[in-house]
A and B are shown apart, each in its own frame.
Chain A
Amino acid sequence: MAVAHEQPNYMGVFWWLLALTILEIAVIYAPIAHFVIAILLIGMALTKATLVALYYMHLKFEKRTLGLIALTPLLLCVFLVFALTPDLSAVLHQSPKTEAPAEDAHH
């Protein structure tokens, strides 16, 4: 399964990772909406993770099988987040009126 390939530019990837980390720290102090900050941070984190997987873990140079194995947990985690959404909506839309009788019932 090992594939002969040229060694990637490891130091180039390192500088990208470092630059993105510094940018992440800068973004949390930026005077912009928290939602936008969260989107930017998630985007940068996924970019960094992809760089590590592709170049340091050599996924870019491996057979497709290993790439599929690596993608599987990512897809399942996205599915998990969607599966949790109805529960979260239920918690967020729980009004105090619906909670009160339940508390009374315990007493």
Chain B
Amino acid sequence: MSQAATLDHTLGVEPAESPLTPESWGKLGMWVFLAGDAMSFGALLAGYGALRYASADWPVPSHVLGIQLTAFMTFLLICSSVTMVKGLAAIQNGDQAGLRRFLLLTILGGVTFLGMQAFEWTHLIERGMGLSGNPFGASLFSTTFFCLTGFHGCHVFGGVVYLSCILVQASRGRYSPTNYNAVEIAALYWHFVDLVWILVFTFVYLI
């Protein structure tokens, strides 16, 4: 402990924010990455809003898109967020089997989400929706829809791959109550994917 810190402690002064530790570098790095990624999604959503606001023949999304299906997809992602925090809590308590079980459930949630999105896209493409136009109104409706949901889908796919790598490491017994930083960082990414979908679901499907 430095001399200044010792002096602060003896005087009863609240010490300044502790310096970064090797364990927290990864978490800080992930937060900075997520902030950048949030700006990408923010720009896409703002662009979507601007184009929609300026369009005279924008279709009502709930009349064209399957709200029930996507509501279930939202429920699925929320459930996968719960299994992710449960997995983190499990390893914090030293439950290795619990971590593996909850990670597997989270991955399954992500894979099911992707499967349902593929089903939704196939159905919409069969109804004439494409990147360059659609039979329901403004051509940019389908362009922005595929760009936004596709960009998010890529993130879900990345998350599934990421969590699969964590699961492999967990199966090798790499994590413990004193070494779970990688799980916590992966969980941050997965919750971010869930958070973004909450916004995409509202702006693209419901409003």
Binding site for B on A (CB under 8 A): 1-2, 7, 10-11, 14, 17-18, 21, 24-25, 27-28, 37-38, 41-42, 44-45, 48-49, 52-53, 56-57, 63-66, 69-70, 72-74, 76-77, 80-81, 84, 87-88, 91-92
Q: How far is the CA of A37 from the CA of B45 in the complex (A)?
A: 18
Are A49 and B199 within 8 A (Cβ)?
yes
Closest 10 CB pairs of A and B: A1-B24, A77-B42, A45-B202, A73-B38, A91-B54, A73-B39, A56-B191, A52-B195, A48-B198, A84-B50
Are B31 and A70 within 8 A (Cβ)?
yes
Minimum CB–CB distance for A58 against chain B, Å: 8
Chain B neighbourhood of A24, CB < 8 A = 201-202, 206
Minimum CB–CB distance for A61 against chain B, Å: 12
Q: How far is the CA of A44 from the CA of B43 in the complex (A)?
A: 21
Chain A neighbourhood of B36, CB < 8 A = 73
Which residue in A10, A28, A66, A70 is a CB contact (below 8 Å) of B67?
A: A28
Asked, given contacts A38-B207, A52-B195, A70-B35, whether A87 binds B27 with beta carbons under 8 Å apart, the answer is no
Are A41 and B35 within 8 A (Cβ)?
no
Q: How far is the CA of A24 from the CA of B34 in the complex (A)?
A: 26
User: Can you name 11 extra interface pairs (CB under 8 A) apart from A42-B202, A84-B46?
Assistant: A10-B82, A10-B85, A25-B206, A27-B206, A44-B202, A45-B201, A56-B84, A65-B17, A69-B32, A72-B35, A80-B43
Q: B71 interface residue, CB < 8 Å from A?
A: yes
Main secondary structure of the interface of B (DSSP, over half): helix
Q: B11 interface residue, CB < 8 Å from A?
A: no
**Which B-chain residue is minimally distant from A53 (CB atoms)?**
B195
Q: B143 interface residue, CB < 8 Å from A?
A: no
Q: How far is the CA of A88 from the CA of B202 in the complex (A)?
A: 21
Chain B neighbourhood of A80, CB < 8 A = 42-43, 46
Asked, given contacts A10-B89, A56-B81, A66-B28, whether A88 binds B50 with beta carbons under 8 Å apart, the answer is yes
Minimum CB–CB distance for A72 against chain B, Å: 6
Main secondary structure of the interface of A (DSSP, over half): helix
Interchain Cβ contacts under 8 Å between A and B, 7 examples: A14-B81, A25-B71, A52-B195, A56-B85, A57-B195, A77-B39, A77-B45
Q: B3 interface residue, CB < 8 Å from A?
A: no
Q: How far is the CA of A9 from the CA of B133 in the complex (A)?
A: 46
Are A77 and B31 within 8 A (Cβ)?
no
Which residue in A1, A41, A92 is a CB contact (below 8 Å) of B54?
A: A92
Are B89 and A1 within 8 A (Cβ)?
no
Minimum CB–CB distance for A80 against chain B, Å: 5
Chain A neighbourhood of B75, CB < 8 A = 18, 21
Are B206 and A41 within 8 A (Cβ)?
yes
Are A21 and B50 within 8 A (Cβ)?
no
Which residue in B49, B53, B194, B206 is a CB contact (below 8 Å) of A52?
A: B194
